[in-house]
Amino acid sequence: MTGTPGEQKVGEALDAITGIIALHDRRKPGGRGNIDHIAVIPAGVWVIDTKVRTGKKLEFRNKGGLLSRDERLIVGGRDETRLTGDMAWQVETVQRVGAELLGDTVVRPALRFVGVTLGLLDRRPWTVRGVVVCWRATLPDLLLRPGHRDQRRMTDIADRIISRLPPA
C-alpha cells in the first residue's frame, strides 16, 4: 500500500475489518488524482478520502437560517467544505467503472479525518453536503452495516474495480 502515513493508517484499519473488501490508492483513469480507499461491503460501496489534520478541531456548522441549511465543514477554524465537493469525481469514477455490476448499488462518499480533535458530544459521523465525515471510532460502524450482497458478488465488484482502476 502506498500513500501518506495517514492513508496507510486508514488502509490498515480498513484491512482489519472482517467482512469487507478494501482497495487502496487507485489511479484516476486518464487524469491526475487518486482514490485513497474503496470499501466494498455487503450494503454497497464506499469511496473514502483520507485527510490528515493533526491537532485541528473538526466541527460541523449549519450557517443557514431556520428554513434553509448551509452545511459547513470546519477544520482548525477554517471552512474546508470544498473537500466535500472534491469527492464527486471519485464517486462518479467508481460508478462508471462498475456500472454493469453495481446495478442499483449506491456508491457513497466519506471523508476520513486523521489526527483531529472533536467536541465532547461528537460520537457519530456527520453528513455535510451528502458526504459522510468520520474519524477513527466511527468508520467501522459505517462499513459494518448489514446488506444483501454475498461475498461472491462483493468479490466480483472488487475485481471489476481493480481491473479498471490500476494502483496509483
pLDDT band at 99 (very low <50, low <70, confident <90, very high): confident
DSSP E strands in 55-106: the ranges are 58-62, 71-75, 78-79
- DSSP class of 66: S
Task: Quote the percentage of the chain above a pLDDT of 70.
Answer: 98
pLDDT band at 2 (very low <50, low <70, confident <90, very high): low
Delimit the domains of the chain by residue range. Answer: 5-164
Q: What is the pLDDT of residue 23?
A: 97
User: Average pLDDT for residues 53-68, to the nearest whole number?
Assistant: 88
- What average pLDDT does the structure give for the chain? 89
Q: What is the pLDDT of residue 1?
A: 54
Say yes or no to pLDDT of 13 above 90: yes
Q: What is the pLDDT of residue 110?
A: 97
Say yes or no to pLDDT of 117 above 80: yes
Say yes or no to pLDDT of 105 above 70: yes
End-to-end CA distance of the chain: 10
Q: CA separation (Å) from 95 to 46, 52, 107, 119, 164?
A: 11, 26, 7, 34, 11
pLDDT: which is higher, 156 or 146: 156
Report the DSSP pairing between strands 126-128 and 107-114.
unpaired
The CA distance from 11 to 150, in Å, is 23
Q: Indicate the helix (H) or strand (E) that contains 137.
A: none
Query: Which residues contact residue 7 at a Cβ distance below 8 angstroms, ignoring those fewer than 6 apart?
Result: 1, 24, 25, 36, 37, 50
Q: What is the pLDDT of residue 168?
A: 85
Asked whether 74 and 128 are in contact (CB, 8 A), the reply is: no
pLDDT tens digits for range 25-56: 999 888 788 999 999 998 889 999 999 999 99
User: Average pLDDT for residues 52-65, to the nearest whole number?
Assistant: 90
The CA distance from 64 to 118, in Å, is 22
Q: What is the pLDDT of residue 25?
A: 95
Taken as a whole, the chain contains a residue count of 168
Angle between helices 151-164 and 88-97 (to 10 degrees): 110
